[in-house]
Structure 1
């Protein structure tokens, strides 16, 4: 790829601006994220495939979209400082144009002249010719400093925690939440790890594929997780993925599923209480079949239940999993039914910021006031669903204390029919190379 980015067009008439396909696709994807609450990791690939971007342009557009989303709050402060005005005084679409320009200048190896020209052309073509002067002026002011220079300017007068939040591109409240559960010497490393794109991992469907098959097809065996293999490129190049015998899943998610399956428990069917989008359900379904039983996968949202069905579609026969759309807080099954229950509850998702770059700017502490009561109700429901001697796995993709240990402690304090088994597990990107998954195992007395 040239340093000017993919297929840059220059010398165009100001009123007949043409923008290269990669930058235009990145802009449209960013608008879907910022204006319509889309998710970059879902919107981007679908849009880039629809636009038929080649590998070079798709790679450029992906970095432009994800990098902009990851640094969004930082770039917003830089744009305000460079423009001398608040973002609220600007049209939302031109703000997104400026954010993409900031990332090209401060986060990518795009030469200044190319980044400025491309930003002006994008403003004219996508927003309106009347915005090009503003886009040119602010983008040139952004180019007056590199990213370190801007961080130095913006850090003036901040306390140490605010400076760390700015330098690592996180809201202050997330920095505080991680500081509450990590040793001080690990805090910056944990925050920095959230800015690194994870390597794609595949999970086999037990009984239908093996990790050795994936390795033989070009994947790399995971050193710690026997069901996992690491891949580069598009996962669809693997026959096992195309046939539903393997799927994309973070090794941390695989570890908590394997831990639930391996611990001693009574006999009986298994339940995945909040199964969407289906990665854990697919892994648990095969593990259940290996033990001569079957899995019920329940998901509140019907469209997510469809995704679960797609994830487990390759299983057939007497022990094939059953997928239903049901509310886990108002169970569609009798109490004391299941031998093993997975309760991977809705959460802030702070443990998956590597793969959901916009989430750190979208979530707020107020979200916890809604999520925490729901998490408690779901854990209570999961315990009720377990038969005596059964195991409940409480899981969140978050390290936040209110969503993890405090939920488990509160439920245990109110019940005398359940006990903790062993120490809780908290995984971390900077320690384990996984999402920051939390797991507590409980046994129904």
Structure 2
């Protein structure tokens, strides 16, 4: 079964769309905000009628924060779009980026502080006002913007978007927040670390308590140890990640990316990190010969191709391929040999992104199809290698998508587990005897990783769990699970997303 033609699609993956957030350094210089507005009144509608905002950086940050909170928007998609739409660049773009992502990352800490400053529950504060309070708190507690300028500029924005009355409320709360610095506030609002280490880390590092506990469980730490490594991981989630690029084999090289200003990644032979700047400015990225892709994503795909498959190796499957990052790399690796890749995605729009990602792979080795992995359109035993990167909570990518920590709940993993097991079972059915399946999640949550793999292994007697870390022995500290048979990447250990990999051979 050879590949058919793919539709040419404008490819901009979710990972690639993080470029505006990742490629600019934090805004840390002192900046005097605008003075208070003359006159008052008016709500958001009136503000829109006045034309361009007088403080475009704070306005775009507010608009993104409100959309994230109220409409479940993704900051890494919306912020670059609004910056471009409104013609915001340079220092204003850097400030907007810092305010948006800094506020999202430390939202839990700021909420704990403001709970003590509001004479009612924070949940009862108007939805239009709460993002303003968080925005002001970030400026006051985590930037070098002078307190008077931070309060003045935020209150001025409040007048324009929520009106004079609610601006006075915001002014009163932010003046209370400005009474202490962040360390002093932590001493007031955080639980005692010795008594409640999870609660302490939840406030200090701005993660829901349940996420702190699940990450500690995945790391094998218990509260009595003080959760030392867990704290390192939480701190890494609040650091700005560099943009990581992948040079698609046969179409670009790491040397090409280095010549454009990138630096080779420590582990992936196809990876390079961009210290600063816009990836779209790199010719290879614009031409689709390179793309933005986390190093761990590159390596789990590479590990699948390194497994020895007896009896020939001709047809591969990426079963949940959207938006196409791993598919693009796999198609290029397949094209260097005699293999072909079928990249399947259930959502037609995302299947179009996948088509763009595999387009022009060497030897035209990639084909994108719109198909449902829970109801496979292919015959059982068709493929030699199958990658199934299942939908998950995304707790492994909190550096890049900080709002995800506030959207997921303690029951999210349990809700996804049946789908994950179903997809893995179908992946196993799709591979021929002797072939191999790579089960991948961008989450270290044990209910999405070990529990799913164990459940499928228990159902079948024809599967062998391989030692995945042996296929990536150039990367230290990867082995996880019983007898170290899984691979688990970590931001604080490897500088990557927390990607999980299990390799299963069908007998």
TM-score scaled by structure 1? 0.96
| 1:198 counterpart residue number | 241
1:338 and 1:89 mapped to 2: Cα distance?
A: 54
**Paired residues, what number?**
443
| 1:424 counterpart residue number | 486
Among candidates 238, 242, 262, match of residue 282 of structure 2: 238
Among candidates 382, 391, 396, match of residue 337 of structure 1: 382
| 2:368 counterpart residue number | 323
Q: Is 1:267 the counterpart of 2:329 in the alignment?
A: no
1:161 and 1:87 mapped to 2: Cα distance?
A: 22
1:16-415 counterparts in 2 under 5 A?
A: 19-156=54-191, 159-182=196-219, 183=221, 184-231=227-274, 232-265=276-309, 266-315=312-361, 317=363, 319-415=364-460
1:197 and 1:390 mapped to 2: Cα distance?
A: 39
Among candidates 436, 441, 445, match of residue 503 of structure 2: 441
C-alpha contact 2:334 2:365 (8 A) present in aligned 1 = no
Q: Secondary structure at the match of 2:244?
A: strand
**Distance apart, 1:315 and its partner CA:** 2.8
1:356 and 1:250 mapped to 2: Cα distance?
A: 13
| 2:17 counterpart residue number | none
C-alpha contact 2:265 2:271 (8 A) present in aligned 1 = yes
2:135 and 2:70 mapped to 1: Cα distance?
A: 15
Task: After the TM superposition, list the runs of 4 or more consecutive aligned residues in structure 1 that deviate by more than 3 angstroms.
Answer: 1-6, 16-19
2:273 and 2:294 mapped to 1: Cα distance?
A: 10
RMSD of aligned C-alpha atoms?
A: 1.6
Higher RCO, 1 vs 2 (CA within 8 Å, ≥6 residues apart): 2
Q: Secondary structure at the match of 1:274?
A: coil
Is the deviation greater in 160-169 or in 347-356?
160-169
Call closer, same or farther: CA 1:400–1:2 in 2, change over 3 Å: closer
C-alpha contact 2:36 2:155 (8 A) present in aligned 1 = no
Call closer, same or farther: CA 1:283–1:20 in 2, change over 3 Å: same
TM-score scaled by structure 2? 0.85
C-alpha contact 1:19 1:118 (8 A) present in aligned 2 = no
| 2:479 counterpart residue number | none
2:90 and 2:115 mapped to 1: Cα distance?
A: 34
Call closer, same or farther: CA 1:2–1:345 in 2, change over 3 Å: closer
Is the deviation greater in 210-219 or in 329-338?
210-219
Q: Secondary structure at the match of 1:14?
A: coil
Q: Secondary structure at the match of 2:135?
A: helix
**Distance apart, 1:2 and its partner CA:** 8.9
1:215-254 Cα shifts (integer Å, max 9, x gaps): 1222111121100011121001111000000000000100
2:235 and 2:437 mapped to 1: Cα distance?
A: 33
1:117 and 1:199 mapped to 2: Cα distance?
A: 32
1:167 and 1:356 mapped to 2: Cα distance?
A: 19
Is the deviation greater in 386-395 or in 152-161?
152-161
Is the deviation greater in 89-98 or in 308-317?
308-317
Q: Secondary structure at the match of 2:385?
A: strand
Q: Secondary structure at the match of 1:197?
A: coil
2:202 and 2:255 mapped to 1: Cα distance?
A: 42
1:55 and 1:132 mapped to 2: Cα distance?
A: 28
